[in-house]
Structure 1
Amino acid sequence: MNRFILTIALVTLPGSASAQDVLIRNATVHTATAQGTLQNADVLVRHGRIAAIGHGLNGAGATVVDAAGKPLTPALFAGINDIGVEEVSGESTTVDSHIGLAGGKDMSVRPEFDVTTAYNPESVLIPVARVEGFGWTMVSANPGSGGSLIGGQGGAFRFDGSLDPIGGRVLFVTLGGDSANLTGGSRAGEWMILDQLIDEARGRIPADSKFALLTPAGRVAMAKYFGGGGRVAVTIQRASDIRRLLRWAKQRHVRIALVGASEGWEVASEIAAAKVPVFVDALVDLPADFDQIGATMQNAARLRAAGVDVGFYLSSDASHYARKLRQLAGNAVANGMRWDDALAGLTRVPAQAFGLENEVGSIAVGRRADLALWTGDPLDVANTASQLWLDGRAVPMVSRQSELRDRYLHRDESPLPPAYSR
């Protein structure tokens, strides 16, 4: 164990930001692929990519880390949130996740709004997530902003300091009781507005019509998501709404993902048949509103048993508490979901849902070396991430929270006042 601690300390020293060569020996490797879990296996990283997986690998020139049989997983997915575009939710100048009403209009539908251009890779929330083993996230444009059920476009970011997202954009939409008040107070108005937006994007409604809702740029943006284009992430809860959305998406050739789906288990076979991924909050088990009367903590297990690809997200405080996603996955296991499927919900499933399976979400030869080493079962919150690697580069396991903890735990040993760390 001392050798393990020593090698970790060496690779986490500040230094070059370039990719590193690393050989992780004797790990329980949860690949999140068809290979499943490999016992006492080695993972060799060359130039930031996984070069080999096996036993007794030759790591000449690479930094060696003895995992001592501990679990090694892909870097985890931090959910659908506002990390990087929100610092303090109560301070509007630090929140860039939505666009407000413009021009005095009753509703401002701006699908061209791209929240990724506001992303801050130096957000203090990023190290907080990284020290818990999370390496990437989906940054969302909040639907409901601007008085519209269309939030705008978001994208996936790795927590490696990059300014730009990876992969394509995702359009964020809210349907059901949460957005009915944005379309005249009736759910029927939501489908009316969505169909009108499609007609506008396809030129069936003139741009100069007094009924038009989209700008010229908005028409171009909307057109990208219809007829089999980019992914549309729809926050929706009620079973009947989900059934109607599945039908609507099939008729209009829209690639959707469901977010929330508290009553998804009631229509699980239909979701599976449509091959639609679902992101659930596995701790939702009470009817917070009339759209969630059928909520149950067995939702994830029942969906997966029906053949649905299930990922996880937090329905509240998603940015500041991304670390709780491990708890959500663990609770899904406690309520009937297979362990491997729960880990996939934090790794492979979101990567596939957002078209990033060749970049993140699995341990396979040729993939980015985005890895997390754990003290024990990663779905048990009693365990922690010992080390996170991004592109094979060991990330310092330090956050603002850990710095504050250390300052005040050892303040009597410092000659400086408590307000100073150095």
Structure 2
Amino acid sequence: MNRPLRVLAWLTAGLLAALPATAQDWLIRNATVHTADRAGTLPGTDVLIRNGRIAAIGRDLPAGQAQVIDAGGRPLTPALFGGITDIGVEEVSGESSTVDAALALGANAADMRVRPEFDVSLAYNPDSVLVPVARIEGIGWTLLSAGSRPGGSLIGGQGGVVRLDGSLDATGPRALFITLGGDGANLSGSSRAAQWMLLDQLRDEARGKIAQESQFALLTPAGRATLSRYFNGQGRVMVRVQRASDILRTLRWAQSNGLSIALVGASEGWKVAPQIAAAKVPVFVDALANLPADFDELGATLDNAARLHAAGVQVAFYLSDDASHNARKIRQVAGNAVAHGLPWEAALAGLTRIPAEVLGVDGQVGARIAPGQRADLVLWSGDPLDVASVAERVWLDGKPVPMRSRQTELRDRYLHPDTGLPRAYPSPAH
């Protein structure tokens, strides 16, 4: 097969994998229903799906015209949150033309222009190969990240919540991303102390206290309008920060300026867990972080999530390493947190209900199993927080998701018995 035909076949396969099946009513019978809601876990329970919504939950529900699936007692959960990723805005991390996740406008801090109006979700591609790869692993939605890199600024821009349903209109509320501490030092004159000076200036610009024509101004008119919304509490600000002392400064600064923040990372969050809880600030943690990866994370520990939860902090999860291509590992992150003291139900909530509430999409994504909620559901072979379990069936808006991806197609192709044809050719059976 020549190169143009191979490319066409690859694109066609991706498009077909993204198309949901026809909607119909379903009755999932005899499941262990993990509601991620007040009802908790309901063994031997039926879930009726009608018109893309959960119509009823109970035992011995009448099927009517619904197609019946016998779960055989297996776990049923809401579709999972995939963490903070670049799914759909990054295809091949080593190929810059396929990466749209970060904005770089200058070569050094002196050239820095802060552009909070930058919205990475405008580059989202629902036909990305990574979408079905994540979806067949039980992941129904994610938060697109607006990252920073050399030449950028400590305010990376805006990301957005995205449903992985293959639709062209999949993006939900935006969130602003800020990087502080050691990770942001190269974006603020090589000093974390300068970050607070710059943030105070940006606040003053957004509030009109510094003239747009000032030679020291860092924001465009659009940037001022965008930042002003967040300073008025209209939208969540995701702050990447790790060190305990930086976390405390972040909490105080956010409170004094009326920002609605969530912490991302917070490897040393357990050290200041009572203060985080008192500020009612949620935390997105990577429960696999247990080594001092840098001087900001000397206190990293596997029981960070458990300690934060015990203090009363809302805990959700994310992956700090290659999150886009390995979003499936988000279950391992939550499972590790359980192994180190986090209650199982709290871990499931950290993959479903809690991130939905924090990001303002509870009801827009099926993050709970309750009547009236969107039927975004996953039937698992076993404990969903055990990496030995797999997603057997996935529904988004009550539509069964084709359990195919570029990876499964490659697996099936090259595990197929030898047909006598060169490996570049499709099997005659296909």
- Structure 1-normalised TM-score? 0.94
Identity %: 67
Q: Which residue of 2 aligns with 1:40?
A: 44
Tell me which stretches of 4 or more aligned residues in structure 1 moved more than 2 Å.
12-20, 102-105, 143-147, 163-167, 414-417
- Given residue 263 of structure 1, which amino acid in structure 2 is its aligned partner? E
Question: Residues of 1 paired with 2:248 and 2:17: CA distance?
Answer: 52
How far 1:420 sits from its partner (Å)? 3.2
Question: Counterpart in 1 of 2:308?
Answer: 303
In the TM superposition, residue 186 of structure 1 has moved relative to its aligned partner by: 1.5
Cα deviation code 1:178-214 (max 9, x no counterpart): 1112212211110111111111111110001000000
1:319 aligns with 2:336: no
How far apart in 1 are the matches of 2:351 and 2:73?
A: 21
- 1:55 Cα deviation after fit: 1.0
The answer to whether the aligner puts 1:357 opposite 2:362 as a matched pair is yes
Code of the aligned partner of 2:410:
L
Per-residue CA distance 1:20-44 (angstroms, 9 max, x = gap): 2111110000000011001111111
- Distance in 2 between residues matched to 1:397 and 1:416, nearest whole Å: 27
Deviations 1:86-127 (A, max 9, x none): 011110000000122159961121100001110000111111
Counterpart contact for 1:132–1:385, Cα < 8 Å: yes
Task: Let me know the Cα RMSD of the aligned residues.
Answer: 1.8
**How many residues matched?**
410
Q: 2:240 aligned with 1:235, yes or no?
A: yes
2:349 matched to 1:378? Answer: no
Q: 1:362 to 1:16 in 2, by over 3 A?
A: closer
1:171 counterpart residue number: 176
User: Is the CA contact (8 Å cut-off) linking 1:155 and 1:165 kept in structure 2?
Assistant: no
Alignment of 1:65 onto 2:98: no
Q: CA 1:370/1:376 → structure 2, altered by over 3 Å: closer, same or farther?
A: same
Q: Does residue 1:216 correspond to 2:213, yes or no?
A: no
Deviation at 1:316, TM superposition (A): 1.0
Map 1:381-400 → 2, pairs under 5 A: 381-400=387-406
With 13-22 and 97-106 compared, the bigger mean Cα shift is at 13-22
Equivalent of 2:249 in 238, 244, 252: 244
Post-superposition shift, 1:416?
4.4
Q: Which residue, out of 83, 87, 98, partners 1:83?
A: 87
| Cα distance in 2, alignment partners of residues 76 and 167 from structure 1 | 16
- 1:372 and 1:172 mapped to 2: Cα distance? 30
What is the correspondence of 1:332-343 to structure 2 with a 5 Å cutoff?
332-343=337-348
Rounded to whole Å, the distance in 2 between the matches of 1:390 and 1:78 is 14
Q: Describe how 1:149-188 pairs up with structure 2 within 5 A.
A: 149-188=154-193
2:106–2:152 Cα contact (<8 Å) kept? no
Distance 1:16 1:155, change over 3 A: closer
Residues 106 and 147, structure 1, Cα contact 8 Å, conserved in 2: no
Asked whether the equivalents of residues 149 and 174 of structure 1 are also in contact (C-alpha less than 8 Å), the reply is: yes
Query: Unaligned regions of 5+ residues in structure 1, if any?
Result: 1-11
What is the aligned partner in structure 2 of residue 5 from structure 1?
Answer: none
For structure 2, which runs of at least 5 residues remain unmatched after alignment?
1-15
> Is residue 408 of structure 1 aligned with residue 414 of structure 2?
yes
Aligned 8 A contact 1:176 1:236 in 2 = yes
* Preserved CA contact (<8 Å) 1:31 1:37: yes
- The answer to whether the 8 A contact 1:20-1:391 is kept is no
Distance 2:224 2:273 in 1: 33
**In the alignment, residue 42 of structure 2 is paired with which amino acid?**
L
Does residue 1:191 correspond to 2:224, yes or no? Answer: no
State the AA in 2 paired with 1:268. Answer: A
SS of residue paired to 1:137: strand
Could you say what secondary structure the match of 2:47 adopts?
strand
Task: Tell whether the 8 Å contact from 1:176 to 1:291 is kept in structure 2 after alignment.
Answer: yes
Find the residue that maps to 1:290 and give its secondary structure: coil
Structure-to-structure mapping, 1:93-112, within 5 angstroms: 93-101=97-105, 106-112=111-117
Which residue of the other structure, out of 254, 258, 265, is the alignment partner of 1:253?
A: 258
Corresponding position of 1:345: 350
1:275 aligns with 2:280: yes
Q: Deviations over 1:249-301 (max 9, x none)?
A: 11001000000000000001111111111011101111111100100000011
What does the per-residue CA deviation read over 1:42-69, in whole Å, with 9 as the maximum and x for residues that have no partner? 1111110111111111221111111010
Q: Is the 8 A contact 2:303 2:337 kept in 1?
A: yes
Contact 2:142 2:163 in 1 (8 A): yes
Q: Is the 8 A contact 2:117 2:222 kept in 1?
A: yes
Structure 1 Cα separation of the partners of residues 258 and 19 of structure 2? 49
TM-superposed CA distance for 1:331, in Å, is 0.7
3-state SS of 1:64 partner: strand
Q: Counterpart of 2:143 in structure 1: which amino acid? A: M
Aligned residue for 2:137, secondary structure, equals coil
Q: In the TM superposition, what is the alpha-carbon distance from 1:398 to its structure 2 partner?
A: 1.0
Query: For the Cα contact (< 8 Å) 2:283–2:313, is it kept in 1?
Result: yes
- The residue type equivalent to 1:60 in the other structure is G
After superposition, give the CA deviation of every residue in 1:148-169 in whole Å (9 maximum; x if it has no partner).
0011001011111122344321
For residues 197 and 149 of structure 2, what CA distance do their matches in structure 1 show? Answer: 16
TM-score normalised to the size of structure 2? 0.92
**TM-aligned CA distance change 1:383 to 1:362, over 3 Å:** same
Q: Distance in 1 between matches of 2:425 and 2:183?
A: 45
Q: 1:145 to 1:35 in 2, by over 3 A?
A: farther
**CA drift at 1:227:** 2.4
How far does residue 13 in structure 1 lie from its aligned partner after superposition?
Answer: 11
2:145 is the counterpart of 1:137: no
1:29 aligns with 2:33: yes
Letter of the 1:84 partner, please give it: G
Work out the CA distance in 2 between the residues paired with 1:21 and 1:79. Answer: 30
SS of aligned partner of 2:289: coil
